[in-house]
Structure 1
Amino acid sequence: MLKLFSLGAGDRQLIQTPLHDSLPVTGTSVALLFQQLGIQNVLSLFCAVLTENKVLFHSASFQRLSDACRALESLMFPLKYSYPYIPILPAQLLEVLSSPTPFIIGVHSVFRNDIHELLDVIIADLDGGTIKIPECIHLSQLPEPLLHQTQMALSLVLHPDLETADYAFPPPRTALSHTKMLDKEVRAIFLRLFAQLFQGYRSCLQLIRIHAEPVIHFHKAAFLGQRGLIENDFLTKVLNGMAFAGFVSERGPPFRACDLFDEVKTGVFFCLFLLLIPNYSIRNAKGMI
């Protein structure tokens, strides 16, 4: 949608709103975060914010701090981060880092001597490409096989030459994707990851209508049981978090506007269904969805 407005003096300004209002706009920030920290480190930070740990970025560049915080928050879509989010923390507020509340915060590298004293904060050095996880933090990881599948998908997108590196006669090297396209490809991997991680969640929703406002209850035990992940530490923490509670309250009602996540989730279910029952009619399968 195009919007025309004026700032005064008879000028005309034109802006274009995003195609999907609920989908965060990242530009190239996600791709740059992977270039700065690498696949494994970004996945660790991703798991850290989903399980409500404190994450702190530091860099000599304010732009890098803003982009990194934005990228990490955007990777959580369709979940929304519910805790303090401060891309650039002023020097006068450094004491906020001692708060017991989870956060995503960026701090300039001139204060690195102060932040290294923190014992319960995961620190990411954007300039050095490293992260530091304190010994007192047990960082839960994505369940298998999703973790391996995500790592492989990211490797193929970010390092496409790895697939043919050992060929005796490798094919001509293909041009790397433009950074903006690379950003979209990486985000598509995480969107598919959430569609697989939350597949079947709607069957565990219970809508209670005895109150003036309908109450939506999510049966966590039933969801973990049907996925065979009752003892999985990562998914249990995610389901108990504030981000997932907001996800259920926002997406739980049966009549609401659907967005890109709903389309991807439906597509994942459709693919899994045909893999399990390959001879089933495509028309009937679509009808069930």
Structure 2
Amino acid sequence: MDDKNILSSNRSHKRLDQRLSLTSLCLISHHPFLSTFRELLLLLKRLIDGCSQRLSEDGQYSKDIIWATLTGCWTEPIPPRVMQDIRELETWILMLLSAPVSVPGKTKVLLEVLPSNIIPTFEFALPDHTRFSFVDFPLHLPLELLGIDTAMKVMAAIMLESKVVLQSRNYNAVSMCVLALVALMYPLEYMFPVIPLLPSFMPSAEQLLYAPTPFVIGVPASFFAHKAIDIPNDVIVVDLDTNQLLISDDINIPDMPVPDCTELKNNLRKSLDKLLLSVPEMESKSDEMAEMNYTFDSDIVDIAVRVAMVYSFFNSANVFANFCEHTRTLRLYPRPVVALQTESFLRSRPQFTQFIAELCKLAFTIYIF
């Protein structure tokens, strides 16, 4: 290549800085290792940036040449040095995708993506099916952001098939809260659409809010203003930034049974107190140790919250305690069909409430235990 071609190529390399738009890395999997996948994607980004920085140090290549090649924006022949880095990155990705899957309750996978003296080994493991399902996001987050009273009101609305929209300026917070609220319904399984984050700039995204089905959707705080629409009358909006519920007069959410709900709230407060009590201890430690302790304490709080939901609420006397005594098996094969004897079940509750009257119908027609 002559000097003119080299200079022309270098100028085109540097123009990439102005042409490239925002790029997202997405890992698609049905396995629930969210935090580990996030760390792996951040590591991949650092590897790509490191390769780009190394190539740009001599001034011959743009610092965005690796990204341009990977995203298909590079239209010229790929230089040999760049191709070598691309091959190494693609080999790293292939090895990651080829990693085996752990057997729940029996095996775990230790994945060394870089030498152990550079980054710790990643661990993948799933609990036995008799234990709580694996949840890799902060279940206590909606309780912490909304407060326990408001969060329980939102939970009641979701259980009773209301259309619920969560909004916040913090995209990560609203996404995690949507997932957490649905996961807190265990042992019930939510069977309707769940969208952690509905983008404001997605064409006709607002049409999903008019769907004739219940849903739980997260949106940016600017969603309704950007779409220039009013909140539909049958939609409940939960504002995570102001801790407010926007509920139309046409919507009625029955109250949960008082004694059971009171016990649940008390246990949830005790669970959150464990997290608050650990804050002064973390402030006196190094950043790395504090982060490890917070993750550990957060996991303890999440387990306590799940235990409280199951034993203090779903298995309480006025909700679903001893519900098996009021069921009839209609069919075993090919799929079990169980019917609830609603009248005898409701008569067996110490305190009859409209909430449980509606929930018991939905639990055996919509939800799956």
Relative to the length of structure 1, the TM-score reads 0.70
Q: Distance in 1 between matches of 2:258 and 2:270?
A: 19
* One-letter amino acid matched to 1:145: P
Q: Distance in 2 between matches of 1:131 and 1:190?
A: 22
Q: Distance in 2 between matches of 1:215 and 1:48?
A: 26
1:201–1:223 contact (8 Å) kept in structure 2: yes
- Does 1:245 pair with 2:365? yes
2:169–2:241 contact (8 Å) kept in structure 1: yes
Q: Offset of 1:33 from its aligned partner?
A: 1.4
Q: Offset of 1:26 from its aligned partner?
A: 3.3
Selected match of 1:187 from 297, 300, 306:
306
Q: Distance in 1 between matches of 2:192 and 2:245?
A: 21
* One-letter amino acid matched to 1:34: L
Q: Which position in structure 1 is the counterpart of 2:146?
A: 37
Selected match of 1:108 from 191, 200, 220:
220
Q: Secondary structure at the match of 1:57?
A: strand
Identity, in percent, stands at: 25
Q: Offset of 1:41 from its aligned partner?
A: 0.8
Q: Distance in 2 between matches of 1:175 and 1:8?
A: 41
Relative to the length of structure 2, the TM-score reads 0.56
Q: Distance in 1 between matches of 2:184 and 2:355?
A: 17
Q: Offset of 1:205 from its aligned partner?
A: 1.3
Q: Secondary structure at the match of 2:302?
A: helix
**Pairing of 1:153-168 with structure 2 (within 5 A):** 153-159=267-273
* One-letter amino acid matched to 1:16: F
Once structures 1 and 2 are overlaid, which stretch shifts more, 126-135 or 97-106? Answer: 126-135
Q: Offset of 1:80 from its aligned partner?
A: 0.5
* One-letter amino acid matched to 1:194: F
CA displacement, residues 230-274 of structure 1 (integer Å, 9 cap, x when unaligned): 5x2111111121x43365xx65xxxxxxxxxxxxxxxxxxxxxxx
2:138–2:298 contact (8 Å) kept in structure 1: no
Q: Offset of 1:7 from its aligned partner?
A: 5.4
Q: Which position in structure 2 is the counterpart of 1:217?
A: 339
2:339–2:364 contact (8 Å) kept in structure 1: no
- Closer/same/farther in 2, CA of residues 77 and 125 from structure 1, 3 Å limit: same
1:140–1:234 contact (8 Å) kept in structure 2: yes
Q: Which position in structure 2 is the counterpart of 1:18?
A: 126
2:326–2:341 contact (8 Å) kept in structure 1: yes
* One-letter amino acid matched to 1:235: I
- Closer/same/farther in 2, CA of residues 9 and 68 from structure 1, 3 Å limit: closer
Once structures 1 and 2 are overlaid, which stretch shifts more, 205-214 or 27-36? Answer: 205-214
Q: Offset of 1:179 from its aligned partner?
A: 2.1
Q: Which position in structure 2 is the counterpart of 1:277?
A: none
Unaligned 5+ segments in structure 1 are: 1-5, 162-172, 252-289
1:28–1:183 contact (8 Å) kept in structure 2: no
Selected match of 2:355 from 217, 220, 234:
234
Over 4 Å off, 4+ runs? 9-12, 209-215
Q: How many residues were matched structurally? A: 231
Q: Distance in 1 between matches of 2:269 and 2:249?
A: 28
